[in-house]
């Protein structure tokens, strides 16, 4: 397809597509002559992802470029490729390791991973932003004085493992490695808010069941 058709099918203006091409967010089309290039379904799929990341996910262009660099790096195994792409997304700041609540949260999270038998997750603790996010969240909760039972974290973690199985089962339905990683990235940006919304709806439903509307 030509640029005009790519624009029409994607709903993205030709000017914006040209900008994405200049920024390296889309690979160049197949050059037909000096002024015309041809694009395919992969360009259309990637364009829709880029547009959604920037417009809906509010991901900066430089970050999108970094994420896609890992998505397209077929020299990496799938786990590292996926991890690198997800880790390039905006993350929580590095925690203050001198903070007593942070140190206690590290111990709590390490114990949680050991109890779960998540040896692969434990191997990534020094580099995984998700590990840092969990440490910061638990530390913040403790700092506010809430008595959150570690057994609750264990129960939630087991539920999240079931969600992860569903996630990767869905990822596996896509044919190419790039599509698999793209789908996982899209899930991190768009499915996580959906799960959060479902969680809150479930809380509202359970609250109504228990306490009514009075």
Q: How far apart are CA 91 and CA 74, in angstroms?
A: 24
- Alpha helices per DSSP H over the chain: 3-10, 14-22, 41-55, 61-71, 78-87, 100-116, 119-123, 129-143, 150-171, 177-186, 192-211
* Same domain as 117, residue 18: no
Can you give the pLDDT at residue 126? 67
Phi then psi dihedrals of residue 27, to 5 deg = -75, 150
Q: How far apart are CA 191 and CA 73, in angstroms?
A: 24
From first to last of its 214 residues, the chain has per-residue pLDDT tens of: 888 899 999 889 999 999 999 999 998 888 888 778 899 988 998 898 898 888 877 888 988 888 888 878 878 777 777 777 777 777 777 777 888 999 999 999 999 999 999 887 777 776 788 888 899 999 998 889 888 888 999 999 999 999 989 988 998 898 887 788 888 888 878 888 888 899 999 999 999 999 988 6
Contacts of 16 (CB under 8 A, 6+ apart): 51
Which tokens belong to 61? 């262009």
* Same domain as 68, residue 134: no
* Same domain as 55, residue 110: no
In a domain, 92, yes or no: no
In a domain, 94, yes or no: no
Can you give the pLDDT at residue 209? 93
Q: Which residue has the tokens 């259309």?
A: 44
Provide the residue range defining the domain that includes 160. 100-211
* Same domain as 204, residue 120: yes
In a domain, 151, yes or no: yes
Can you give the pLDDT at residue 21? 92
3-state secondary structure of 38: strand
Which tokens belong to 9? 């099918």
Model-level pTM? Answer: 0.73
Can you give the pLDDT at residue 17? 92
DSSP character at residue 187: I
């Amino acid at each position: 397809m030509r640029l005009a058709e790519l624009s029409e099918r994607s709903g993205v203006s030709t000017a914006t597509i040209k900008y994405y091409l200049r920024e390296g967010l889309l690979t160049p089309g197949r050059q037909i002559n000096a002024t015309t290039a041809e694009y395919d379904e992969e360009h259309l799929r990637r364009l829709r992802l880029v547009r959604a990341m920037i417009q809906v996910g509010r991901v900066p262009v430089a970050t999108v470029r970094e994420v896609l660099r890992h998505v397209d790096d077929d020299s990496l195994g799938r786990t590292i490729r996926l991890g690198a792409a997800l880790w390039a997304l905006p993350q929580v700041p590095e925690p203050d390791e001198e903070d007593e609540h942070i140190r206690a949260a590290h111990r709590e999270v390490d114990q949680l991973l050991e109890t779960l038998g998540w040896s692969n997750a434990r191997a990534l603790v020094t580099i995984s932003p998700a590990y840092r996010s969990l440490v910061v969240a638990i530390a913040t909760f403790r700092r506010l004085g809430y008595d959150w039972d570690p057994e609750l974290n264990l129960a939630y973690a087991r539920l999240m493992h079931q969600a992860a199985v569903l996630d990767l089962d869905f990822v596996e339905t896509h044919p190419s490695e790039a599509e698999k990683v793209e789908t996982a990235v899209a899930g991190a940006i768009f499915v996580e808010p959906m799960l959060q919304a479902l969680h809150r709806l479930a809380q509202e439903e359970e609250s109504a069941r228990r306490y009514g509307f009075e």
